[in-house]
Each structure stands twice: as structure tokens, then as C-alpha cells.
């Protein structure tokens, strides 16, 4: 059985809550690219989403984002959606609710910059999100 620790009011009280089963680790990759064909530059901007199975939630506290970019303003922006509230019972018998997402979207963004340098060159950004899923029942 897995346990997760939550801090109470002002971080003064901690509770240990058993979760239903072993967590599943997910790796979600996303990227964007562009090729600079004019002096005005290029922009690559892509959004890709991951939807957890119906009986799972994404544990935001476990998420790590890796970003690798060649170009300017390379970024990976995560957003969460489809929030689910899950009742949790603490080891001491107390009950509380956590709210976590079941959907993760990642926006990958890259730019080449303007000017005549690097004409014909490709630019890209790679995003790699790693996180855990937990069962909701």
C-alpha cells in the first residue's frame, strides 16, 4: 500500500493518507519545430494533451518537465484540466478530499528570431513530462 503526505493548515499538521494501489509512472512527450525560410523568422507552437484512464488521476506533485530547445524562447507549458475530487481516509481514520486533474496538456513553443542569419535552418523544442497516475476508487 502506498502513502501520500499532505500538510494541514499553515503546514503545521501533517496527515498520512493511504492510496488504493501502486502508482503508474507515465512519460508524455511533445514537441514543436519550424524552418526559417524568410528574414521574418519562424515560430513553432503545438499543443498536445494526455487523458488519464477514467479511474485514474494525475498527481501534480510528482510531475517533472524536461525541456530541450534549439532556437529562441523555447518553452514547455503544462496546463491541467478535467479535475476530479477523490475522498481519502488518513491512517488515523480522518477523511478529507483531494482534487487532482485527469488531463494534462503541454504547449511546446520555439522561435527562430528575425534577420538574415540562419536562413534555411530548422529550430525545435522537445518537452518530456513524467508523472504518476493514481487510482480513484
Q: What is the pLDDT along the chain (137 residues), one digit of tens a residue?
A: 344 444 443 333 333 344 545 689 999 999 999 999 999 999 999 999 999 999 999 999 999 999 999 999 999 999 999 999 988 888 888 898 999 999 999 999 999 999 999 999 999 999 999 999 999 87
Does any domain span residue 110?
yes
User: What residue numbers bound the domain in which 127 lies?
Assistant: 23-85+99-135
Distance CA 5, CA 75 (A): 31
Would you say the pTM of this structure is higher than 0.85? no
Does any domain span residue 2?
no
The three cell numbers of residue 115 are 534577420
Does any domain span residue 92?
no
Does any domain span residue 30?
yes
Does any domain span residue 91?
no
Distance CA 5, CA 1 (A): 13
Q: Which helix (H) or strand (E) holds 72?
A: strand 72-89
Does any domain span residue 11?
no
Distance CA 86, CA 82 (A): 13
Does any domain span residue 14?
no
Total tally of structural domains belonging to the chain:
1
Does any domain span residue 45?
yes
Amino acid at each position: 500500500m502506498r502513502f501520500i503526505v499532505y500538510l494541514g493548515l499553515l503546514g503545521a499538521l501533517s496527515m498520512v493518507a493511504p492510496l488504493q494501489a501502486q502508482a503508474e509512472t507515465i512519460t508524455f512527450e511533445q514537441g514543436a519545430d519550424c524552418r526559417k525560410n524568410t528574414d521574418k523568422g519562424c515560430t513553432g507552437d503545438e499543443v498536445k494533451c494526455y487523458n488519464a484512464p477514467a479511474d485514474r488521476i494525475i498527481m501534480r506533485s510528482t510531475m517533472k518537465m524536461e525541456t530541450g530547445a534549439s532556437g529562441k524562447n523555447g518553452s514547455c507549458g503544462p496546463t491541467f484540466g478535467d479535475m476530479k475530487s477523490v475522498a481519502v481516509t488518513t491512517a488515523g481514520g480522518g477523511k478529507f478530499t483531494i482534487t487532482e486533474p485527469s488531463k494534462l496538456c503541454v504547449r511546446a513553443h520555439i522561435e527562430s528570431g528575425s534577420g538574415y542569419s540562419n536562413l534555411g535552418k530548422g529550430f525545435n523544442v522537445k518537452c518530456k513530462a513524467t508523472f504518476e497516475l493514481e487510482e480513484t476508487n
